[in-house]
C-alpha cells in the first residue's frame, strides 16, 4: 500500500525509516522514505511469520528481504534493533560499496520521525486485525454452508474466458484467511486442439486435469503442494459434472476435493445464484447474506482474472505479424520491411523487385516473401 505521510524530516537528508507494531501474533511494518530532505512516500507491509516470533527477529528477516533487490540509503532508522544488527549493516555496506548505518534513535528529530511511523503502523495493524476478524467470520460461514470439516485455509476459484472460442484461457484465483493470495493465481492457456471452439466444459476439463495432475505428481514426489479445502467453479451443473469426470480420471473423488459450482439464475441477477454440489440438490442463499456477498466477490475476482488473461493473449496474438512466419526474417529484417512498406499488408502487395530494394533482402529471400503472400 503506497501513501504519502505528513511527516517532517528536519535535518535528515537520506534515510529509510522502519517501525514495527505487533498484536495477536500479527505484525505490521511501516516504512518512510526520506530523500533529499523530503518525504518521498511510505509503504505498509504485513510480513508472514510464526506467531511466537519477536519483533527483533521479524524485523531482521524483513530488512534482509526488503533490500535484496533495492539499494539501501546511508541511514536506516528502526524502532526496534533487529537481531544481528551489526552484521546486517555490514552486509548492506558491502552490497552498496559504502558505509550503511543502522540506528535506533532515542531522542530528537529522528525519534520523532519514528514515533510517527509507529503510530501509522499501529493504526494500519488495527485495521488489518479488524478485516481479518471479519474474514474469519465469513470463512466460518463458508464452512457451515458447504459442511466443510474445518474452516477453509485455501479456496480456489476457476473461470474460463474466450471470444467465440478464440484465445481461450482458464483462470484460477486463490483466497484464504489473509484475503486474496495474488501470488498464487494461475493462468491456463487452453492447448487441446481437439476441443470444439467455445466448449466451456472441454476447457474446464483441461484446466482441472492440468491443475490436479500436477498436484498429484507433487504429492507423490513428497513435495509441499497446496491442496484446496474448497474448489469453486463459475458455472452450473454442466461445469461441475465435467470437473467430477476429470478428477475421476485422475483417481480423485468428491471426498478428495470439495467441489461447488456457482451459477447465476435465468435472469443473471446477482443475489439469485444457485449452488451445485455433487449428489445434492441445488440451493440458494438469502440475498442479503454476507457469505453470499463474499462468494460473489470470489466469483467476480476469478472472472476478472480470466478476462484479463484472455485480453493479454488476444493482444499478443494481434501483435504477431505474418512476417514472423517467413523463414529468414528476423527482427532486423522485419523492422526494415515494415519501415519501407509501412505495414505487413504493404509487404504482401510488393513485387519481388520492390522487396529487393530493402536492406538485407536478397533475391532468394524476396522470392520467398512474395511466394508466402501469393501462394508461390
Q: According to the CATH classification, is domain 322-374 in 3.20.20.80? A: no
CATH architecture designation of domain 155-318? 2-Layer Sandwich (3.30)
Nearest to 150 by CA among 160, 140, 159: 140
Query: Where does 2-132 sit in CATH, by number?
Result: 3.30.420.10
What is the distance of C-alpha 87 from the center of its chain? 34
197: which residues sit within 8 A by CB, 6+ positions away? 162, 164, 165, 166, 168
Task: Supply the angle between the helices 55-66 and 85-96 in degrees, to the nearest 10.
Answer: 10
**Gap between the Cα atoms of 293 and 298, Å rounded:** 9
Q: Which three cell numbers stand for residue 166?
A: 478464440
Q: Are strands 75-78 and 38-45 parallel, antiparallel or unpaired?
A: unpaired
Distance (Å, whole) CA 193 – CA 146: 36
Pairing of strands 38-45, 230-234: unpaired
| Cα–Cα dist 306/304, whole Å | 6
Please check whether residue 56 is in contact with residue 81, taking contact to mean a CB–CB distance below 8 angstroms: yes
Q: How many H helices and E strands in the chain?
A: 10, 13
pLDDT score at 76: 95
Per-residue pLDDT of the chain (376 residues; tens, 9 = 90+): 444 444 556 678 899 999 999 987 889 999 999 998 888 889 999 998 888 899 999 999 999 999 998 999 999 999 999 999 999 999 999 999 999 999 999 988 899 999 999 999 999 998 888 777 788 899 999 999 999 999 999 999 999 887 666 678 899 999 998 889 999 999 998 888 778 777 889 999 999 999 999 999 988 887 767 899 999 999 899 999 999 999 999 999 988 999 999 998 655 455 678 999 999 999 999 888 889 989 999 999 999 999 988 888 777 765 667 788 888 888 888 888 988 888 788 888 899 999 999 999 999 999 999 988 887 6
> Given this chain, do its domains 2-132 and 322-374 carry the same CATH topology?
no
pLDDT at 1: 40
pLDDT of residue 361: 93
Phi then psi for residue 101, to 5 deg, are: -105, 130
Under DSSP, the state recorded for 324 is: G
| Inter-CA distances, 296 with 184, 232, 262, 273, 352, Å | 20, 11, 9, 9, 59
d(CA 173, CA 158): 7
pLDDT given for residue 218 in this prediction: 87
User: Looking at residue 3, what is its pLDDT?
Assistant: 43
Cβ neighbors of 300 (< 8 A, separation 6 or more) are none
- Residue spans per domain, the chain: 2-132, 155-318, 322-374
Amino acid at each position: 500500500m503506497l501513501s504519502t505521510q505528513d511527516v517532517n524530516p528536519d535535518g535528515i537528508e537520506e534515510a529509510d525509516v522502519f517501525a514495527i507494531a505487533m498484536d495477536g501474533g500479527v505484525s505490521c511494518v511501516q516504512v518512510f522514505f526520506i530523500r533529499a530532505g523530503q518525504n518521498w512516500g511510505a509503504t505498509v507491509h504485513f510480513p508472514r511469520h510464526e506467531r511466537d516470533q519477536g519483533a527483533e527477529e521479524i524485523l531482521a528477516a524483513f530488512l534482509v528481504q526488503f533490500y535484496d533487490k533495492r539499494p539501501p540509503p546511508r541511514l536506516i532508522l528502526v524502532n526496534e534493533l533487529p537481531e544481528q544488527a551489526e552484521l546486517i549493516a555490514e552486509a548492506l555496506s558491502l552490497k552498496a560499496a559504502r558505509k550503511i548505518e543502522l540506528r535506533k534513535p532515542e531522542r530528537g528529530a529522528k525519534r520523532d520521525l519514528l514515533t510517527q511511523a509507529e503510530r501509522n503502523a499501529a493504526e494500519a495493524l488495527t485495521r488489518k486485525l479488524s478485516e481479518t476478524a471479519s474474514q474469519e467470520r465469513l470463512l466460518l460461514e463458508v464452512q457451515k454452508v458447504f459442511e466443510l470439516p474445518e474452516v477453509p485455509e485455501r479456496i480456489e476459484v476457476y473461470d474460463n474466458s474466450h471470444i467465440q472460442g478464440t484465445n481461450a484461457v482458464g483462470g484460477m484465483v486463490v483466497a484464504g484467511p489473509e484475503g486474496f493470495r495474488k501470488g498464487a493465481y494461475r493462468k491456463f492457456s487452453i492447448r487441446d486442439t481437439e476441443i470444439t471452439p467455445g466448449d466451456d466444459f472441454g476447457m474446464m476439463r483441461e484446466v482441472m486435469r492440468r491443475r490436479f495432475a500436477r498436484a498429484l505428481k507433487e504429492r507423490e514426489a513428497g513435495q509441499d503442494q497446496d491442496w484446496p479445502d474448497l474448489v469453486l467453479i463459475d458455472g452450473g451443473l454442466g461445469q461441475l459434472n465435467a470437473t467430477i469426470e476429470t478428477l475421476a480420471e485422475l483417481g480423485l473423488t468428491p471426498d478428495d476435493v470439495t467441489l461447488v459450482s456457482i451459477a447465476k439464475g435465468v435472469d443473471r441477477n446477482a443475489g439469485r445464484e444457485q449452488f451445485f454440489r455433487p449428489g445434492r440438490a441445488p440451493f440458494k442463499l438469502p440475498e442479503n447474506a454476507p457469505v453470499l456477498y463474499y462468494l460473489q466477490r470470489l466469483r467476480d475476482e476469478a472472472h476478472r482474472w480470466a478476462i484479463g488473461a484472455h485480453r493479454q493473449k488476444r493482444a499478443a496474438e494481434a501483435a504477431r505479424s505474418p512476417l514472423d512466419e517467413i523463414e529468414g526474417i528476423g527482427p532486423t529484417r522485419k523492422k526494415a520491411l515494415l519501415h519501407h512498406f509501412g505495414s505487413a499488408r504493404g509487404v504482401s502487395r510488393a513485387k519481388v523487385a520492390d522487396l529487393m530494394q530493402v536492406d538485407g533482402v536478397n533475391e532468394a529471400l524476396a522470392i520467398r516473401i512474395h511466394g508466402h503472400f501469393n501462394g508461390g
